[in-house]
């Protein structure tokens, strides 16, 4: 949707953040949200205005934004929410009996991680990605929501890649459904102590962070799926995503290289034990099944070039026959 520049709600939203509509520069946004850039106090910012839409989960936004601000104030590399002139994280704008939602963030440098060509990735960036995740997990151990009603759900009480929308799979997918149910049972037996379980991003892939290759900076955004889960889930997501992007055939060797650098960065901020690295195959398989379940109804079998096409190739067979997403000794990496 092209951003509107001359509507009254745009001017009101701009003034709520201490600028005028003339100070806003339209940006490419989503299908619904109007997105603008602006500069305030020498800080580049992004203003997002969501028109009335019953799909917008305002209570979820009220819970997510304090978490993001907590991370930013703690030094995590995330897109920091910007307070309005009234000190609010969210501004509600009434116009013609309808409510528009305005939020603002500091603008992150670089491009989305998924937009990098693979030769732009290197060990230093892998380590930086691990460091960013480790910092968020370390901060999660001390996070207390502002109030009980602003607490995010558990990972399996929300919709995410690990826990896709609950829909009845057709009989042809009965084995896949059985494998998924069994994995749910297995991971639910894992401990949930403060060193292993807390607020996670839950969708930490290359579409949800910016990379500035000049400054070796990674900035995380889009916390819509954040939930309480095992920290190893975010690590598994990074492994999963990198293997989706990786164009080479030596996937096992690349995974070892990636994780060595990633963990080197991660451990500068947070500890992760060999036993938790040993759980990565379970989380990777849960992700594999979750993504399969989500994209299966829309996949065109003739598509072999997109990441979906590459992912779906032989995927059902691999799930049904318990073939690891990637077959390496994750726990052993802890000692390398």
**Which residue carries 């929410």 as its tokens?**
81
CATH of 111-335, one of 1.10.10.10, 3.90.1150.10, 1.10.357.10, 3.90.1200.10: 3.90.1200.10
Q: What is the pLDDT of residue 56?
A: 75
Q: Which two tokens stand for residue 276?
A: 């938790």
Contact 118, 41 (CB under 8 A): no
Contact 4, 11 (CB under 8 A): no
Measured from the Cβ of residue 181, the count of other Cβ atoms closer than 10 Å reads 10
CATH class of domain segment(s) 8-106: alpha beta
Give the span between the Cα atoms of 179 and 163, in whole angstroms: 13
| DSSP code at position 52 | S
Q: What is the pLDDT of residues 161-170, one digit of tens each?
A: 999 988 778 9
Measured from the Cβ of residue 246, the count of other Cβ atoms closer than 10 Å reads 15
Q: Whole-prediction pTM value?
A: 0.93
Q: What residues contact residue 88 under an 8 Å CB cut-off, 6+ apart?
A: none
For residue 296, which of 165, 203, 201 has the smallest C-alpha distance?
Answer: 165
Give the span between the Cα atoms of 329 and 69, in whole angstroms: 37
Q: What is the pLDDT along the chain (336 residues), one digit of tens a residue?
A: 455 556 789 999 999 999 999 999 998 755 578 899 999 999 999 999 988 876 778 999 999 999 999 999 999 999 999 999 999 999 999 988 889 999 999 999 999 999 999 899 999 999 999 999 999 999 999 999 999 999 999 999 999 999 998 877 899 999 999 999 999 999 999 999 999 999 999 999 999 999 999 999 999 999 999 999 999 999 999 999 999 889 889 999 999 999 999 999 999 999 999 999 999 999 999 999 999 999 999 888 888 888 888 899 999 999 999 999 999 999 888 655
| DSSP code at position 94 | E
Q: What is the pLDDT of residue 57?
A: 84
CATH 3.30.200.20: which residues of the chain? 8-106
Q: What is the pLDDT of residues 75-109, one digit of tens each?
A: 999 999 999 999 999 999 998 888 999 999 999 99
Give the span between the Cα atoms of 31 and 38, in whole angstroms: 21
Q: What is the pLDDT of residue 12?
A: 95
Contact 252, 326 (CB under 8 A): yes
CATH 3.90.1200.10: which residues of the chain? 111-335
């Amino acid at each position: 949707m092209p951003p509107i520049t001359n509507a009254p709600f745009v001017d009101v939203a701009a003034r709520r953040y201490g600028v005028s509509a003339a100070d806003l520069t339209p940006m490419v946004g989503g299908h619904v949200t109007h997105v603008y850039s602006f500069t305030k106090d020498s800080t580049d910012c992004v203003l997002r205005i969501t028109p009335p839409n019953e799909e917008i989960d305002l209570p979820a936004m009220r819970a997510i934004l304090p978490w993001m601000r907590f991370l930013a104030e703690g030094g995590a590399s995330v897109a920091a929410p910007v307070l309005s002139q009234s000190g609010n994280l969210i501004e509600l704008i009434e116009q013609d009996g309808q409510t528009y939602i305005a939020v603002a963030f500091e603008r992150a440098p670089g491009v989305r991680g998924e937009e990098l060509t693979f030769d732009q990735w290197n060990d230093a960036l892998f380590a930086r990605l691990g460091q960013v995740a480790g910092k968020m997990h370390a901060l999660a151990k001390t996070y207390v929501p502002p109030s009980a009603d602003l607490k995010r759900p558990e990972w399996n009480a929300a919709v995410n890649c690990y826990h896709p929308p609950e829909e009845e799979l057709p009989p042809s997918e009965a084995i896949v459904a059985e494998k998924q149910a069994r994995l749910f049972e297995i991971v639910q037996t894992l401990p949930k102590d403060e060193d292993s379980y807390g607020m996670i991003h839950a969708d930490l892939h290359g579409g949800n962070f910016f990379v500035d290759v000049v400054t070796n900076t990674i900035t995380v955004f889009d916390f819509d799926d954040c939930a309480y889960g095992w920290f190893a889930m975010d690590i598994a997501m990074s492994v999963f995503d990198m293997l989706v992007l990786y164009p080479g055939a030596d996937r096992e060797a690349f995974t070892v290289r990636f994780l060595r650098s990633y963990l080197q960065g991660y451990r500068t901020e947070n500890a992760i034990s060999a036993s938790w690295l040993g759980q990565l195959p379970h989380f990777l398989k849960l992700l594999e099944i979750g993504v399969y379940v989500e994209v299966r109804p829309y996949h065109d079998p003739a598509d072999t070039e997109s990441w979906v096409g590459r992912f779906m190739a032989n995927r059902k067979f691999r799930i049904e026959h318990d073939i690891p997403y990637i077959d390496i000794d994750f726990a052993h990496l802890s000692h390398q």
